[in-house]
């Protein structure tokens, strides 16, 4: 497995497999539902190579990976054996109603987004081919491509039934049967001809009745591409199924539970849930369009400007169902359309950072982030660079808001949910034709948003992202960092492997360390018995008694950590290793646990030297001036 080491580290630092209730992924993130988020080592995960950042929002513990998240997801599932998670395990997180709603919606829609985008792209390009005269709508090629493009969205209730069943703990095949019932073609054909009678005549919800179920009127709706009815139906099914399992004997549960669930839920959906949900969806859709029609410019300014903020906190999931509902009801949606400029504005901002920054690491990170941004995946840019730098993120939001307002001004709307970034331009094509001018205007706005994001960021400027890489000996009034006539640049940043009091190496009761013969460094008098890795690197030496460990960082710094004085005499008692020689380790990873009280009671000192054994290769080793440190706090910097 390509990401096996990363997968193991992720599982270990979220509290182990036993702390996981559920795991899904979207375009760039692993979305964990943890039993106890306090058990996760968030700071360790954020600093881990291969992880962009960690977001705790909407009742989810989101580990942002990047474009290769599907591969990491597969390895995490395999390493943690997460396919065997207990589907009936109850959620123990105490989350508020809003967080539960966001978690439910994201859990239902996120698994479909990749395929939804793919089928939408096919449908979009098919419309483009017709618009430029490459295909005719009568051709077999067009018909087959259109069938592929419509496949998921037309039968959306079935797909959402599957994903909702996983979130709501319903038998998947029972849920899919409910979804299939809603799009059963024969029922659609029953609306032809004269109705038996009409309900709510003369009102906004006037409804002709063509059939009855056990004498009860059934209001037939069009459920293809619908969103709300199936989610409510599966929510009902989860309650019905759970209730039936309590009293139906085990020997007949396999068929009687789905039998009665279907008999209860499907008729209730057609008679009550479907019509009410459809009417509610119509009101929501009409309401959003009414707000949009009052001032599309203001709506675009708000949605485009705050879209990236919504995404960071998962709030965009509240708008996604509205957008999909608008597509199903009206065939178009302006909500997602007005957010589309945000990714281009963010890409412009990251290109400005790439050109203007003097930091080599930022340049190297900006190149793939800019490429991803062009294709609509902006998380690497946001979490890795622009958000930590602050100003570029703010400038991208301003540019995104102006772009969104411009799209609202020209009436740009999505006619399908397709690709992201440059691939998403086809989303604006009306399959019926006639809006080529609007699409060209949208293209100009997207390009303008990119340019504006670039200019605003370049002009506003930004600070340094990795200030810790500079060893400040003395800062002059003009901001030049120097010591005498020398400029010092950090080669390797080393964090504290222990929590405790800092002790000068010269005070250590061992001449090999105090004389500096072993190398430069310092010592720590620990207050807890947990030794973590001070760098990303490899364990090059682990003494058999586990009282001493050697690590070589990825930058080539050789570090020796000796727990206590003369503790080799304990022959390993009180020491528990969590790594072995040759293991790859990351900053903050637990290496060794040791019993401080036991070591002291045995008559030995626990003062622990941390030395750079190849310090002769460097100009200097700058140590902290603090009297006490915590684990993972800056401790030393090796200077070239």
pLDDT tens-digit map of 158-210 = 999 999 998 888 999 999 999 999 999 888 778 777 889 888 887 767 888 89
pLDDT at 266 over 80: yes
Cα–Cα distances in Å, from 601 out to 507, 562, 604? 22, 18, 7
Q: What local confidence, expressed as pLDDT, does residue 608 receive?
A: 94
pLDDT band of 442, cuts 50, 70, 90: very high
Cα–Cα distances in Å, from 290 out to 299, 300, 335, 442? 11, 14, 12, 22
Give the three-class secondary structure for 57.
strand
pTM of structure: 0.54
The residue annotated as part of the active site, out of 25, 26, 316, 397, is: 26
Q: What local confidence, expressed as pLDDT, does residue 204 receive?
A: 66
Active-site residue flag, 397: no
Rounded distance, CA 550 to CA 560, Å? 5
Contact yes or no for 73/27 (Cβ under 8 A): no
Rounded distance, CA 452 to CA 400, Å? 9
Least confident of 66-70, 367-371, 454-458, 554-558: 66-70
The residue annotated as part of the active site, out of 25, 316, 547, 562, is: 562
Query: Taking the CA of residue 535 as centre, how many other CA atoms within 13 Å lie in the half-sphere pointing to its CB?
Result: 28
Q: Return all residues near 329 (Cβ < 8 A) that are at least 6 apart.
A: 281, 282, 285
Q: What local confidence, expressed as pLDDT, does residue 351 receive?
A: 95
Least confident of 2-6, 385-389, 397-401, 490-494: 490-494
pLDDT band of 95, cuts 50, 70, 90: low
Q: What local confidence, expressed as pLDDT, does residue 139 receive?
A: 92
Q: What local confidence, expressed as pLDDT, does residue 487 receive?
A: 40
Q: Return all residues near 580 (Cβ < 8 A) that are at least 6 apart.
A: 539, 542
pLDDT band of 90, cuts 50, 70, 90: very low
Cα–Cα distances in Å, from 426 out to 104, 153, 409, 551, 615? 29, 16, 19, 52, 58
Rounded distance, CA 124 to CA 137, Å? 14
Q: Please, what CATH class does the domain formed by 492-639 belong to?
A: mainly beta
Q: How far is CA 166 from the centre of its chain?
A: 19
Say which residue the tokens 């998403």 belong to: 424
pLDDT band of 479, cuts 50, 70, 90: very low
Rounded distance, CA 195 to CA 67, Å? 53
Query: Taking the CA of residue 62 as centre, how many other CA atoms within 13 Å lie in the half-sphere pointing to its CB?
Result: 26
pLDDT band of 551, cuts 50, 70, 90: very high
Q: Return all residues near 421 (Cβ < 8 A) that are at least 6 apart.
A: 343, 344, 347, 373, 374, 375, 376, 377
Q: What percent of the chain has pLDDT over 90?
A: 34
Q: What local confidence, expressed as pLDDT, does residue 165 receive?
A: 92
Two structure tokens written together for 263? 């008999």
Q: What local confidence, expressed as pLDDT, does residue 441 receive?
A: 94
- Residue 503 bridge partners (DSSP): 523
Domain 4-95 bears CATH identifier 3.50.50.60 = no
Over residues 593-607, the mean pLDDT reads 92
Give the three-class secondary structure for 246.
helix
pLDDT at 270 over 80: yes
Rounded distance, CA 243 to CA 246, Å? 6
pLDDT at 42 over 50: yes
Q: Is 538 left (phi over 0), alpha (psi -120 to 50) or beta?
A: beta
The DSSP secondary-structure symbol of 41 reads -
Given strand 60-64, what is the order of strands in its sheet? 20-25, 29-34, 60-64, 53-57
Q: What local confidence, expressed as pLDDT, does residue 87 receive?
A: 42
Q: Return all residues near 209 (Cβ < 8 A) that are at least 6 apart.
A: 195, 196, 197, 198, 199, 217, 218, 219
Total residue length of the chain: 640
Q: What local confidence, expressed as pLDDT, does residue 102 receive?
A: 64
Residues forming CATH 2.70.70.10 domain(s) in the chain: 492-639
Between 73 and 435, name the one with better pLDDT: 73
Contact yes or no for 20/82 (Cβ under 8 A): yes
Give the three-class secondary structure for 131.
helix
pLDDT at 484 over 70: no
Q: What local confidence, expressed as pLDDT, does residue 314 receive?
A: 58
Q: Is 295 left (phi over 0), alpha (psi -120 to 50) or beta?
A: beta
In degrees to the nearest 10, what's the CA dihedral of 388, 557, 595, 508?
Answer: -110
473-478-481 Cα angle (round to 5): 20
Q: What local confidence, expressed as pLDDT, does residue 318 receive?
A: 66
Active-site residue flag, 562: yes
Q: What local confidence, expressed as pLDDT, does residue 489 receive?
A: 45
Between 246 and 132, name the one with better pLDDT: 246
Residues forming CATH 3.30.1360.60 domain(s) in the chain: 4-95
Q: What local confidence, expressed as pLDDT, does residue 271 receive?
A: 93
Give the three-class secondary structure for 427.
helix
Contact yes or no for 505/524 (Cβ under 8 A): no
Average pLDDT, the chain: 84
Cβ-in-10-Å burial (0-12, 13-18, 19+) of 302 comes to: middle
């Amino acid at each position: 497995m390509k990401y096996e080491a990363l997968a193991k580290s992720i599982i270990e630092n979220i509290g182990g497999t036993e702390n996981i209730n559920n795991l899904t992924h979207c375009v760039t993130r692993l979305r964990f539902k943890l039993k106890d988020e306090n058990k996760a080592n968030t700071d360790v995960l954020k600093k881990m190579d291969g992880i962009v950042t960690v977001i705790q929002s909407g009742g989810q513990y989101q580990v942002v990976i990047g474009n290769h998240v599907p591969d990491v997801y597969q390895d995490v599932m395999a390493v943690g054996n997460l396919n065997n998670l207990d589907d009936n395990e109850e959620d123990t997180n105490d989350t508020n109603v809003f967080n539960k709603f966001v978690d439910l919606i994201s859990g239902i829609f996120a698994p479909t987004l990749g395929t939804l985008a793919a089928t939408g792209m096919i449908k979009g390009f098919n419309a483009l081919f017709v618009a430029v005269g490459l295909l005719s709508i009568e051709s077999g090629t067009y018909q087959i491509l259109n069938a592929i493009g419509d496949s998921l969205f037309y039968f959306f209730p079935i797909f959402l039934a599957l994903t909702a069943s996983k979130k709501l703990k319903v038998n998947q095949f029972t849920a899919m049967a409910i979804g299939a019932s809603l799009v059963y073609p024969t029922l659609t054909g029953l609306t032809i001809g004269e109705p038996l009678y009409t309900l709510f005549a003369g009102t906004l919800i006037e409804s002709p009745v063509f059939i009855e179920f056990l004498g009860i009127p059934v209001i037939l709706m069009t459920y293809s591409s619908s969103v709300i009815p199936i989610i409510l139906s599966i929510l009902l099914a989860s309650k019905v199924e759970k209730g039936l399992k309590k009293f139906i004997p085990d020997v007949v549960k396999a068929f009687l539970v789905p039998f009665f669930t279907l008999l209860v839920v499907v008729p209730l959906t057609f008679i009550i849930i479907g019509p009410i949900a459809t009417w509610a969806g119509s009101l929501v859709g009409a309401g959003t369009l009414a707000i949009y029609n009052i001032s599309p410019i203001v709506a675009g300014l708000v949605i485009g400007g705050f879209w990236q903020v919504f995404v960071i906190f998962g709030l965009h999931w509240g708008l996604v169902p509205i957008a999909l509902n608008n597509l199903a009801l009206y065939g178009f949606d302006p909500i997602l359309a007005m957010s589309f400029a945000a990714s281009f504005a963010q890409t412009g901002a990251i290109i400005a950072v790439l050109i203007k920054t003097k930091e080599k690491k930022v340049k190297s990170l900006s190149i793939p982030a800019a490429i991803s941004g062009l294709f609509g995946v902006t998380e690497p840019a946001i979490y890795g660079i622009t958000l930590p730098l602050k100003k570029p993120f703010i400038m991208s939001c301003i540019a995104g808001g102006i772009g969104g307002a411009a799209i609202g001004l020209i009436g740009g709307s999505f006619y399908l949910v397709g690709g992201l970034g440059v691939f998403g331009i086809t989303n604006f094509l009306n399959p019926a034709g006639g809006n080529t001018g609007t699409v060209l205007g949208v293209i100009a706005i997207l390009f303008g948003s990119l340019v504006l994001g670039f200019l605003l960021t370049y002009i506003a400027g930004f600070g340094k992202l990795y200030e810790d890489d500079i060893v400040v000996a003395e800062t002059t009034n003009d901001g030049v960092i120097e010591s005498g006539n020398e400029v010092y640049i950090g080669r390797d940043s080393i964090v504290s492997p222990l929590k405790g009091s800092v002790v000068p190496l010269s005070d250590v009761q061992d001449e090999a360390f105090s004389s500096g013969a072993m190398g430069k460094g310092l010592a720590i008098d620990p207050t807890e018995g947990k030794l973590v890795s001070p760098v990303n690197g490899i364990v090059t030496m682990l003494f058999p008694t586990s009282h001493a460990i050697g690590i070589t960082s990825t930058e080539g710094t050789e570090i020796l950590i000796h727990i206590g004085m003369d503790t080799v005499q304990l022959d390993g008692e009180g020491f528990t290793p969590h790594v072995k020689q040759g293991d790859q380790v990351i900053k903050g990873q637990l290496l060794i646990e040791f019993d401080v009280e036991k070591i002291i009671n045995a008559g030995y000192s626990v003062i622990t030297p941390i030395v750079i054994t190849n310090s002769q290769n460097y100009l200097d080793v700058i140590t902290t001036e603090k009297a006490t440190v915590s684990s993972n706090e800056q401790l030393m910097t090796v200077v070239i």
